[in-house]
Amino acid sequence: MEITFENMEDFARGAAFLGTGGGGDPYYGRLLAQNAIREFGAPKVITADDLDDDTAVFTAAMLGSPPVLMEKGCSGDDIDLAISKLEQRLGRKAEAILPIEIGGMNSTLPIMAAARLGLPIIDADGMGRAFPEIQMVTFSVYGCSATPLVVTDEHLNSVVVEADTPARAEGIVRSIAIQMGLSVMLSAYPLTGRQVKDYGVHGTLSLALGIGTAIREGRTTGNPVEALIQYLQTTPYYNHAKVLFDGKVTDLRRETTKGFAIGHCLMSAMDGSGRQMEIMFQNEHLIARENGVIKAIVPDLICMVDRETAEPIPVEHLRYGQRLKIIGTSAAPIMRTPEALEVFGPRKFGLDEDFIPIENL
């Protein structure tokens, strides 16, 4: 895969789909990445296999409430500061940048960071989707420490966090983010090349570009949703893919609480059958129920797209009356293990349900 100024639109669209409603606004993230590419040149994309076992890998991300992320910009100096502060704390230089998640802005921001710092970016992440909390990554599942980590804001205030567990780090950082205005830059999970090889979700930058390309090409044939499903079914992770529902938004509740966009979306079927689907979200979509029956549940992906163009719709862009198709896909196998479900399974979001793979529903 190569990152270019021209393919960033396809990439951002695919990453927005994998964000399952969260991860930050893809349009804003694309502009940040394109501006960095124009100014500093595109970063080289490498695979985990290109890393030495002791390579110093740093992550780059934004954290906060999606509606606020749309309103508070970042200059680039803030993410530079987060990484340089972490370098100072660890006493070693970053040698590669890794997206902590492959969703929306948090897939394009690492591209900006890598371009500004002249570092390669790794074709992998820690989720194969987006999640709202710091500990909800594969690296946490398999024992990698989230800290030390650095949080910065647009005024270049910074905080170095040390915590005994990733979940404790999440609580501390969430409190800091609230004080900093619910939109912060973050560099967490300092990793080695060996840890990325063993515990990362690989090839997800390439998959995001493939998804965005499939949507664009599908528009030329008149059925982008079908083209998207066909592409997903060829991928190693998202191959159990299907349209769960075709409907119109008839009720929407969304509020910013404790640093998250939390709520639900109710949809009515376009075919006049009276069927309804309810989707609950915490930044990202968590569960889809049709007339009370579960059709997909976290950590599998639940994605909303425009029914005509297949444009992914983030949570902050949901509106009453929108006509959408709901697509469900399987998550990466490493996200479905018993150990993983202990960290980001349904019950970790307060859902009184067990995980059932989408292919079994």
Please report the pLDDT score of residue 259 as a whole number.
67
CA distance 45 to 115: 11
pLDDT tens profile 279-323: 999 989 999 999 999 999 999 999 999 999 999 999 889 999 999
The answer to whether domain 8-202 and domain 238-360 are alike in fold is no
Tokens linked to 12: 């951002």
Tokens 């998250």 identify what position? 260
Q: CATH fold of 238-360, please?
A: CV3147-like (2.40.390)
- For the chain, the structural domain boundaries read 8-202, 238-360
pLDDT surpasses 90 at 87: yes
CA distance 127 to 63: 15
CA distance 186 to 149: 7
Please report the pLDDT score of residue 72 as a whole number.
76
Please report the pLDDT score of residue 223 as a whole number.
95
Please report the pLDDT score of residue 77 as a whole number.
95
Helices (H) and strands (E) in the chain, counts: 11, 17
Please report the pLDDT score of residue 74 as a whole number.
81
Contact between 285 and 264 under an 8 Å Cβ cutoff? The reply is no
Is there a cis peptide before residue 148, judged by omega within 30 degrees of 0? yes
Lowest-confidence pick of 60-74, 133-147, 178-192: 60-74
Query: To which H or E segment does residue 98 belong?
Result: strand 96-99
Please report the pLDDT score of residue 255 as a whole number.
84
- What is the amino acid identity at position 316? E
Please report the pLDDT score of residue 357 as a whole number.
98
pLDDT tens profile 93-137: 999 999 999 988 899 999 999 999 999 999 999 999 999 999 999
Non-local CB neighbours of 284 within 8 Å, separated by 6+ positions? 19, 20, 21, 22, 23, 103, 129, 130, 131, 132, 298, 315
**What is the mean predicted confidence (pLDDT) over 12-29?**
90
Lowest-confidence pick of 53-57, 61-65, 208-212, 231-235: 61-65
- High-pLDDT (> 70) share of the chain, %: 98
8-202: what CATH class?
alpha beta
Phi, psi of 256 (to 5 degrees): -90, 115
Q: What is the pTM of this model?
A: 0.95
Contact between 229 and 243 under an 8 Å Cβ cutoff? The reply is yes
Please report the pLDDT score of residue 186 as a whole number.
95
SS3 at position 184: strand
pLDDT tens profile 237-278: 999 999 999 999 999 998 877 667 789 999 999 999 999 999
Please report the pLDDT score of residue 196 as a whole number.
98
Please report the pLDDT score of residue 233 as a whole number.
98
Non-local CB neighbours of 55 within 8 Å, separated by 6+ positions? 95, 96, 192, 193
Please report the pLDDT score of residue 313 as a whole number.
95
- Residue 6 CB coordination number (10 Å): 9
**What is the mean predicted confidence (pLDDT) over 2-9?**
96
Contact between 57 and 95 under an 8 Å Cβ cutoff? The reply is yes
Please report the pLDDT score of residue 66 as a whole number.
67
CA distance 249 to 254: 13
Tokens linked to 318: 């949901």
DSSP at 259: T
Please report the pLDDT score of residue 64 as a whole number.
80
SS3 at position 295: strand
pLDDT tens profile 292-304: 999 999 999 999 9
